[in-house]
Structure 1
């Protein structure tokens, strides 16, 4: 599973960018310590320096959700999400020979 979260600094100044940068790097470290974490990184857009990205790869969606719902995730990752763009962020990894997830209701009733 691949998670791509794009975030925008709240203000166009160096202090806000530095704060988000350090927050994202710390959040990546928190997530990297969780079971099921495969890899990840932090990046900044080359054309719009206020736009940042946090990418992570996970063994499965459950690992990602447990990491985010952990105490450390709630304390150090979720507060940064106030700066996230409102768009889908979780993707299934597409590889040759694998079946893709089917869009269907997950509950009965």
Structure 2
């Protein structure tokens, strides 16, 4: 599975906030290191948008959705990753990887609510 989480750097009233940008960058790199140590992690990257430098992305690949959700629900995930999500763009972020000759999951929301 593929997870694509986009995050926006907080801005000060006078424009871009360099300190907030640096803090978000360090937080995302720390989050990636935490996730990389979890069972089921395959790969990941942190990136910054070339046209809109206030927009960041954390992408990760996982063996399955359960591994990803357990990683986020871990102590480290709750303490260090979930607080970063206040900067996340409100959109679905988990995707199944589509490969030739494989069946897709049933098309239905998986969230509770």
Range class of TM-score, shorter chain: over 0.9
Offset from partner CA, 1:15-42 (integer Å, 9 cap, x none): 1110000000000000000000000000
Q: Deviations over 1:35-70 (max 9, x none)?
A: 000000000000000000000000000000000000
Q: With the length of structure 1 as denominator, give the TM-score of the two structures.
A: 0.93
Which whole-Å deviations, capped at 9, do the CAs of 1:63-89 have from their partners, x for residues lacking one?
Answer: 000000000000111100000000000
TM-score when normalising by structure 2: 0.90
Cα distance in structure 2, aligned partners of 1:41 and 1:95: 21
Root-mean-square deviation over aligned CA pairs: 2.3
The answer as to 2:49 corresponding to 1:38 is no
Cα 1:15/1:63, change in 2 over 3 Å: same
Shift of 1:106: 6.7
Report the CA distance between 1:104 and its aligned residue: 4.1
After superposing the two structures, state which structure 1 stretch, 19-28 or 95-104, moved more: 95-104
After TM superposition, what 4+ stretches of structure 1 lie above 3 angstroms from structure 2?
104-109
Query: Against the structure 1 CA distance between its residues 97 and 46, is the aligned structure 2 distance closer, same or farther, given a 3 Å change threshold?
Result: same
1:105 to 1:22, Cα distance in 2 relative to 1, 3 A: closer
- The Cα of 1:107 is off from its aligned counterpart by 11
Runs of 5+ consecutive residues of structure 1 not aligned to the other structure: none
Give the drift of 1:13. 1.6
Superposed displacement of residue 14, structure 1: 1.1
